[in-house]
Amino acid sequence: MFTIAKNNIWDCINRGVAAVGTCMYTGNPAIVEILGYAGFDFYVLDTEHAHINFETVENLCRAADTAGITTIIRVPQNEPYLIRHAMEYGASGVIVPHVMTGDDARRVQQALRYPPHGRAGICPSIRSNHYDFTSWGDYCEAAEKVMFMALIEDPEGYENLDDILDELKPGRDAIWFGRADYAQNLAVRDESGRITLDPPEIYKVQEDVIARANARGIPVMATPWPVGDPHAAENIVKLGAKIIMNSIDEAIFFDACRETLKTSKDIPL
C-alpha cells in the first residue's frame, strides 16, 4: 500500500505535545539534516523570501526524508502551479501567504487536491508518487492528507477568518498567524515614531485567532515572542497554539556565532 511521509506535526499533536520547527532560508541540505538529527519536528522551507530554485527544493525534501524531519513549503504566492510543485516534490504541507478570504483558501484547496476533490493536474512520474505509474490511485488517496496551512497576516484575513476556516479540514489543515506582518500592517508607532512589531492590539487578535481556530479543530502555528525569551514558547502554547515556529536558520546561526565570539573575541595578547 502506498504511503506518504509521516507528518511529524500531527504526530506531535496527537501525542499531546507541541510540534517544534524553524524556518529555512539558506537552502542547504546539510542544515536540513542537522535540524532533523537535532530533534526538530519540521521545518518551513521559505520560497517567498528566500531565493531557492526548484531543483534545490526537491533535494532538500530528499535530505529531510533521510533525517526524519517534516518538510512544509511556503510558496511565494497563491498560484496553482507553485502549489502543485510543492506537493509533487514530496512536501507534507504547503503554506500560502496572504490568505485573506474564503475564496483565497478555496483556490488553494483546488490547486492542492486531485480530481474529483480539486483541479491539480496529474503526472504519475513525480517524486511524491515515487515515480511509479502503478501506484497512482493509491497516491491520490494518500495525497489528500497533504496539509494546507493558511497564513493569516493581513487585517482582511482576520476579518474573514470564519470564511477561511470553513475551507479548512480538521485533522489535516492548519493556520499560521503571521504576527510580524500583521503588526506591520497595523502601522502602530512607538514613542520614537517608528512602526512597532509589538503593538498592544496584536495580543488580542492572536488570542482570538487561536481560540476560534481551535474551536474548529484547526491547529495554529505561532512564533514565540519576545524573541529570546526563555518562557515565550511555553506562553504561546498556553494561549492554545499547537505548533511552534522558532526563528530562522540564518538567525539561529547568527546568534550562535555571536555567542561563540563572546568567549574568544578581543582577548589581550
Is residue 267 domain-resident?
Answer: no
Where do we find the cell 534545490? Answer: 56
Task: State the cell numbers at 196.
Answer: 512597532
> In this model, does residue 120 exceed pLDDT 90?
yes
CATH number at residue 211: 3.20.20.60
pLDDT at 187: 82
Q: Which residues pair with 72 in a beta bridge?
A: 44, 93
Question: Can you tell me the distance from the alpha carbon of 45 to that of 214, in angstroms, rounded to the nearest whole number?
Answer: 25
**How confident is the model at residue 10, as a pLDDT?**
97
pLDDT of amino acid 1: 60
Sign of CA dihedral 154, 158, 164, 169: positive
Rounded alpha-carbon distances, angstroms, from residue 96 to 11, 130, 148, 173: 22, 25, 8, 12
pLDDT over threshold 70, residue 2:
no
**Domain for residue 2, yes or no?**
no
Question: Structural domain tally of the chain?
Answer: 1
The model's pLDDT over 100-111, given as tens digits with 9 standing for 90+, comes to 999 999 999 999
Judge whether 1 lies within some domain: no
Q: Is 33 within a domain?
A: yes
Does residue 207 sit within a domain?
yes
**How many contiguous H segments (helices) and E segments (strands) does the chain have?**
12, 8
Q: Give a yes or no: residue 118 inside a domain.
A: yes
How confident is the model at residue 227, as a pLDDT?
78
189 vs 187: CA distance, rounded Å: 6
| Torsion on CA atoms 230, 195, 240, 152, rounded to nearest 10 | -130
Of 169, 181, 170, nearest in space to 74 by CA = 181
| 189-237 tens-digit pLDDT | 888 888 888 888 999 999 999 999 999 999 999 999 887 788 999 999 9
Q: Nearest CA to 172 among 142, 202, 201, 197?
A: 142
CA 223 to chain CA centroid, Å, is: 11
Element (H, E) at 71: strand 70-74
Per the domain annotation, does 20 fall within a domain? yes
User: How many angstroms separate the CA atoms of 234 and 102, rounded?
Assistant: 31
Condensed to tens digits (0 to 9), the pLDDT of residues 9-62 reads 999 999 999 999 999 999 999 999 999 999 999 999 999 999 899 999 999 999
Burial (CB count <10 Å: 0-12, 13-18, 19+), residue 5:
middle
pLDDT in tens, 150-197: 999 999 999 999 999 999 999 999 999 999 999 998 888 888 888 888
Helix (H) or strand (E) holding 23: strand 19-24
Q: Which structural domain range is residue 54 located in? A: 8-262
